[in-house]
Amino acid sequence: MTAITFPALGIIGGTGKLGSALARRWVAAGHDVHIGSRDSTHAAEIAARIADDTGRTIGSGSNLDVAMRTQLLVVTVPFAAQADTLREIRDAARGKIVVDTTVPLMPPRVMRVQLPAEGSAAMIAQAVLGNDARLVTAFHSVAAHKLATDLDIACDVMVFSDDKEARRSVAQLADAAGLRGVEAGPLANSVAAEALTSVLIFINKHYSVDGAGIEFTGHLSAPVA
Amino acid sequence: MTAITFPALGIIGGTGKLGSALARRWVAAGHDVHIGSRDSTHAAEIAARIADDTGRTIGSGSNLDVAMRTQLLVVTVPFAAQADTLREIRDAARGKIVVDTTVPLMPPRVMRVQLPAEGSAAMIAQAVLGNDARLVTAFHSVAAHKLATDLDIACDVMVFSDDKEARRSVAQLADAAGLRGVEAGPLANSVAAEALTSVLIFINKHYSVDGAGIEFTGHLSAPVA
């Protein structure tokens, strides 16, 4: 893995479990990270905690502020907040890579795949963002409580986009968080990772696993151009 | 893994790559296997080849004959033949476990997930079979050309059913083929494995992999009852 410098990373909804864990890992790896939240005071608290923990600086602000001041946005909000959040940052996201991590879980039946009428959370994101942003989806099935530690996580991250360059960048961003980013095809394929999340929740319960993930088998060579 | 005796296994559409490879492994493991096909002459040819190869006996016949004379049916036909094949064996399958392996691939764009209007191949199977059979889906993402060898395959098989006892039996049936059967939830979750197949085809091409599969990470204990 070669060292890669990413542009400023904005974590939209970055006070949640997934967002704050990703932020912490990217900060620790030396990247310029900014935590956004509906509540900028809460964003500042989480940022301060991560700064304390890692000894590095990290920015914070409202979701919109962070979206405006960063170049690569990672959206980590619950399904119920997805569309509204994307609408809020749409103008600020113009021309930027937006990584949507949304899984269409519908509590309380989270062990059962229940896909939205649009087909997937990726299709909802695309409908909201149109062609304004470079939409990528990823990080659907990472156990956030493991990501919040410094431990190695045996977990591949499927990365989907119709924009090949953006897809490759986000696979490298997953690598930078100590995971393995695997390019997994066009946005239409995102449904596979979204649906798999309910399967993983089922497996955790059924087999008493602490945060199951998946790994692709077979030797994955460098991507074929 | 404890030795388990399965009832007579009927492989419907068993002359294809997946069906014949599964049949060969189950025959080699000592089980009573019968190969069905629309063309019973072709079924007999494939059965003879497997018998030669393994030194064991194996039955054959038309799909309907095999469905009538066996107790656990594994349906391995292309998506385009799925509904007709299930209709043909429906009466013979009454009360039996039917394992549908169908992936809704729509050539030529097989690297792209294209789910059917019904939601998944599992939902189509359920609509055809109703409550007459004990429907399970599994074996979606096994590389058939690897399964056709005696090599160990690093590949988990997700097994879905609303019938828990049938689901557990089919997970053991996967074990008996030298794979690892993983119970992955209700039939509604089958879409995860079906969609994942296009992802695996994409990964095979993109990363020059010879038959990628997936493995679940984390220690899977004995299932929680």
DSSP assignment string, A80-119? HHHHHHHHHHTTTTTTSEEEE------TT-TTS----TTS
Interface contacts (A, B; CB < 8 Å): 151
- The rounded Cα B185 to chain-centroid distance in angstroms is 16
Q: What is the pLDDT of residue B3?
A: 57
Rounded mean pLDDT, B12-34: 97
Nearest chain A residue to B218, by CA = A212
Instruction: Kindly determine whether residue B113 and residue A188, on different chains, have CB atoms separated by under 8 Å.
Output: yes
Say if residue A2's pLDDT is above 50. Answer: no
Q: What is the pLDDT of residue A24?
A: 97
Instruction: Walk me through the domains of chain A, giving residue ranges and CATH numbers.
Output: 9-206 (3.40.50.720)
Q: What is the pLDDT of residue B6?
A: 87
Q: What is the pLDDT of residue A5?
A: 76
Low-confidence winner among A195-209, B61-75, B78-92, B140-154 (lowest mean pLDDT): B140-154
Whether residue A48 contacts residue A111, with contact meaning beta carbons closer than 8 Å, is answered with no
Q: Which residue has the tokens 């410094």?
A: A150
Instruction: Kindly determine whether residue B220 and residue A210, on different chains, have CB atoms separated by under 8 Å.
Output: no
Whether residue A43 contacts residue A24, with contact meaning beta carbons closer than 8 Å, is answered with no
Three-state SS at B173 = helix
Instruction: Kindly determine whether residue B207 and residue A220, on different chains, have CB atoms separated by under 8 Å.
Output: yes
Say whether the peptide bond before residue A78 is cis (omega within 30 degrees of 0).
Answer: no
Per-residue pLDDT of A15-60, as tens digits, reads 999 999 999 999 999 999 999 999 999 999 999 999 999 999 999 9
Instruction: Kindly determine whether residue A113 and residue B191, on different chains, have CB atoms separated by under 8 Å.
Output: yes
Q: What is the pLDDT of residue A218?
A: 82
Instruction: Kindly determine whether residue B191 and residue A195, on different chains, have CB atoms separated by under 8 Å.
Output: yes
Closest CB to B209: pick one of A113, A185, A219. A219
List the one residue out of A16, A13, A50, A49 whose CA is nearest residue A32: A50
Question: Please, which pLDDT band fits residue B4 given cuts at 50, 70 and 90?
Answer: low
Query: Which chain A residues are Cβ-neighbours of B222 within 8 angstroms?
Result: 207
Adjacent-strand bridge partners of B73: B10, B98
Average pLDDT value over all residues in chain B: 94
Q: Which residue has the tokens 């036909």?
A: B77
Position with higher pLDDT, B4 vs B37:
B37
List the one residue out of B172, B218, B216, B120 whose CA is nearest residue A112: B120
Say if residue B102's pLDDT is above 70. Answer: yes
Residues 6+ apart with CB under 8 A from A140: A101, A103, A157, A158, A190, A193, A194, A196, A197
**Cα of B214 to nearest chain A Cα, Å:** 4
Mutation site, B146, B156, B214, interface A, largest A CB count within 10 A: B214
Position with higher pLDDT, B191 vs A106:
B191
Residues 6+ apart with CB under 8 A from A72: A6, A7, A8, A9, A10, A96, A97, A99, A169, A173
Whether residue A187 contacts residue A135, with contact meaning beta carbons closer than 8 Å, is answered with yes
Instruction: Kindly determine whether residue A216 and residue B203, on different chains, have CB atoms separated by under 8 Å.
Output: yes
Per-residue pLDDT of B197-218, as tens digits, reads 999 999 999 999 988 999 999 8
Say if residue B52's pLDDT is above 80. Answer: yes
Task: Provide the Cα torsion B110, B113, B114, B118; round to 10°.
Answer: 130
Instruction: Kindly determine whether residue B215 and residue A215, on different chains, have CB atoms separated by under 8 Å.
Output: yes
List the one residue out of A101, A139, A111 whose CA is nearest residue A209: A111
Question: Please, which pLDDT band fits residue B2 given cuts at 50, 70 and 90?
Answer: very low
Strand order in the sheet with A156-161: A59-62, A33-37, A9-12, A72-75, A97-100, A134-137, A156-161, A180-183
Query: Which chain B residues are Cβ-neighbours of A223 within 8 angstroms?
Result: 206-207
Q: What is the pLDDT of residue B126?
A: 98
Instruction: Kindly determine whether residue A217 and residue B155, on different chains, have CB atoms separated by under 8 Å.
Output: yes
Closest CB to B208: pick one of A111, A205, A224. A224
**Cα of A69 to nearest chain B Cα, Å:** 34
Q: Which residue has the tokens 């990726």?
A: A122
Instruction: Kindly determine whether residue A192 and residue B182, on different chains, have CB atoms separated by under 8 Å.
Output: no
Integer Rg of chain B from CA:
16
Closest CB to B192: pick one of A189, A196, A212. A196
Q: Which strand (E) or helix (H) includes residue A49?
A: helix A40-54
- For A11, A80, B18, B145, B190, the CA distances from B80, given in Å and listed in that order, are 44, 37, 16, 21, 18
Mutation site, A207, A210, A219, interface B, largest B CB count within 10 A: A207
Q: What is the pLDDT of residue B40?
A: 97
- Rounded CA separation B161/B125 (Å): 12
- Rounded CA separation A22/A143 (Å): 11
Average pLDDT value over all residues in chain A: 94
Query: Which chain A residues are Cβ-neighbours of B157 within 8 angstroms?
Result: none
Per-residue pLDDT of A140-191, as tens digits, reads 989 888 999 988 887 899 999 999 999 999 999 999 999 999 999 999 999 9
Most distant CA atoms of chain A, gap in Å: 46
Q: pTM (2 decimals)?
A: 0.95
Q: What is the pLDDT of residue A69?
A: 97
Residue A113: phi and psi, rounded to 5, are -70, 125
Query: Which percentage of chain A shows pLDDT scores above 90?
Result: 86
**Cα of A148 to nearest chain B Cα, Å:** 17
Q: Which residue has the tokens 């962070």?
A: A66
Instruction: Measure the CA angle with vertex B11, ends B10 and B12; round to 5°.
Output: 105
Whether residue A116 contacts residue A104, with contact meaning beta carbons closer than 8 Å, is answered with yes
Whether residue B211 contacts residue B203, with contact meaning beta carbons closer than 8 Å, is answered with no
Mutation site, B161, B202, B205, interface A, largest A CB count within 10 A: B202
Instruction: Kindly determine whether residue B224 and residue A207, on different chains, have CB atoms separated by under 8 Å.
Output: yes
**Based on the number of CB atoms within 10 Å of its own CB, is A108 exposed (0-12), middle (13-18) or buried (19 or more)?**
exposed
Say if residue B1's pLDDT is above 70. Answer: no
